Amino acid sequence: MTKNAIFWLRDDFRLKDNPALSYASNNHEIVSTVFIFDKSIYDGKREAQKWWLSRSLEEFQKDLSKYNINLEIVEDNQVSYLKKIKAKDGISIYWNKVYEPFEIKKDDELIEHFKDNKINFKNFRGNVLNEFQEVKKGDETPFKVYSPFWKNAERIFLEKIPSTDHKVKKVKLSKNLTKKNISFKDILPKKNWYKKFDKYWYPSENKANEYLDGFIKNDIYNYGTKRDYPSIKGTSKLSPYIRSGQIGVKTIYNKCSKIKSKNISVRKYINELGWREFSHSLINYFPQMLKGNLRKEFDKFPWINDKKKLSLWKKGMTGYPIVDAGMRELYETGWMHNRIRMVVGSFLVKHLRINWQEGEKYFRNCLFDFNEANNVAQWQWVAGCGADAAPYFRIFNPILQGEKFDKEGEYVKKWVPELKNVPQKFIHKPWEMEKKYQEAINTVIGRDYPKPIVIHEVARKEALEAFQSLKKKN
């Protein structure tokens, strides 16, 4: 065993249940955590995540220093950087897996290189309940439908022998192993956009555990009934923490399992964790989804390439208050409520008939919780071209969705303040207010807030026709 070890930090910013970090610290005198920032993955593509990353590194550094583990941040291509390590350097390398085809490819290349060059290494299970290869149908083919997938996945997880705690051990204080370190501040996005994120989020392991404990104590019993209402705290808001591994899904699952009386809401919450595993399984068995429609018949869908409407959608200026509130929440906070993600997604692909890939790209750039598996699978679910997807002909009416899930208009008024004077009756259809009344409340539609960029009934009809035409073409 070498004296020195590197824990290659990818999506596991935590001390608890971190198998690679635990192994490194229990088997080596000196351990460095190395984060390799590859600009090409983030610049112009995942801008919001740069803030989350930068803050996560800042917080994790504090946690690691209690164990004398250095956090070293370097800027490079991840594979090239790790390949520079030579056997004579006497360093062992450990990491937890990340389950996206592009990341798995890196692992394969590195494993081959380390073996050829006699470098000691080991990779461990990443932040999942099961590795995707473990969950297959009896005939060894992958699941395409969620319910049987999750039934099997949960059984397989529960049948496993529970792993040890993976505790991290204090190591010997040392100098940095790498020479050209950058600071977590160098990762921040260039735009001042990120400055407001501090108001909403604190990216640390402690905060993630606090969120989970608070959620289990106060909210989980009502999750089933409250999860669809964006103006109340009905969901856990753990997704950015799960995405960066500030909390492990095993920890979440195990804590939920310990709840004595599990009502339907508790089951529902646990079930949601399964969707994340399902998405990982889908993108690995059907990697073509990352580039296009899983259901090939959608390749002939008559999408409209309307840059102006796409831009209005991104800015939250469509004239449909519930859609605009969601898009503004996203830009302001780096997160959006699940119900509203479905509404804005449906509006883009059905009312505007813009290709789901445009929405996927925009979410990728703005969401802290963006991960390829969930984002691609969920966008295809919304568009109707994915696995176990919502049928294309089921078109959300943005007025009714608003009236049902934001009855009082609290969510809309929070994110679209120019509608603050609009009474409840019109909050999801402000264009129906009489002109005189609009003047009286100083909210003139077309002046203070946009007119709807499409008429719901017309857009709905055209979307259905487009879908019918698809049937004829295939």
What residues line the site for ligand FAD (CB under 6 A)?
A: 227, 235-239, 242-243, 272-273, 275-276, 279, 338, 341-342, 345, 363, 367, 369-371, 374-375, 378-379, 382
Query: Edge to edge, what strands does the sheet with 4-9 contain?
Result: 70-75, 30-37, 4-9, 91-96, 121-124
Burial of 352 (0-12, 13-18, 19+ CB in 10 A): buried
Which lies closer to ligand FAD via its Cβ, residue 345 or residue 430?
345
Tell me how far, at minimum, the Cβ of 328 lies from ligand FAD, in Å.
16
Q: CB atoms < 10 A from the CB of 241, how many? A: 29
Asked if 409 and 417 count as a contact pair (C-beta separation under 8 A), the reply is: no
Tell me how far, at minimum, the Cβ of 199 lies from ligand FAD, in Å.
18
Which lies closer to ligand FAD via its Cβ, residue 69 or residue 98?
98
Tell me how far, at minimum, the Cβ of 262 lies from ligand FAD, in Å.
16
> How far apart (Å, rounded) are the C-alpha atoms in residues 203 and 65?
17
Tell me how far, at minimum, the Cβ of 233 lies from ligand FAD, in Å.
9
Q: Which residue has the tokens 């309307």?
A: 306
Which lies closer to ligand FAD via its Cβ, residue 156 or residue 390?
390
- Single out the residue of 30, 36, 38 nearest to residue 5, CA to CA: 30
Asked if 350 and 463 count as a contact pair (C-beta separation under 8 A), the reply is: yes
Tell me how far, at minimum, the Cβ of 54 lies from ligand FAD, in Å.
19
Q: Which amino acid is at 259?
A: I
Which lies closer to ligand FAD via its Cβ, residue 153 or residue 342?
342
> How far apart (Å, rounded) are the C-alpha atoms in residues 381 and 299?
15
In DSSP terms, which residues pair with 36 in a beta bridge?
A: 74
Tell me how far, at minimum, the Cβ of 111 lies from ligand FAD, in Å.
28
Beta strand pairing status for 30-37 and 70-75?
parallel
Tell me how far, at minimum, the Cβ of 381 lies from ligand FAD, in Å.
7
* Three-class secondary structure of residue 402 per DSSP: helix
The C-alpha angle with vertex 260 and arms to 256 and 262, in degrees rounded to 5, equals: 65
Tell me how far, at minimum, the Cβ of 270 lies from ligand FAD, in Å.
9
Which lies closer to ligand FAD via its Cβ, residue 333 or residue 378?
378
Which lies closer to ligand FAD via its Cβ, residue 70 or residue 236?
236
Which lies closer to ligand FAD via its Cβ, residue 72 or residue 369?
369
Which lies closer to ligand FAD via its Cβ, residue 92 or residue 374?
374
> How far apart (Å, rounded) are the C-alpha atoms in residues 371 and 239?
10
Asked if 310 and 358 count as a contact pair (C-beta separation under 8 A), the reply is: yes
Burial of 306 (0-12, 13-18, 19+ CB in 10 A): middle
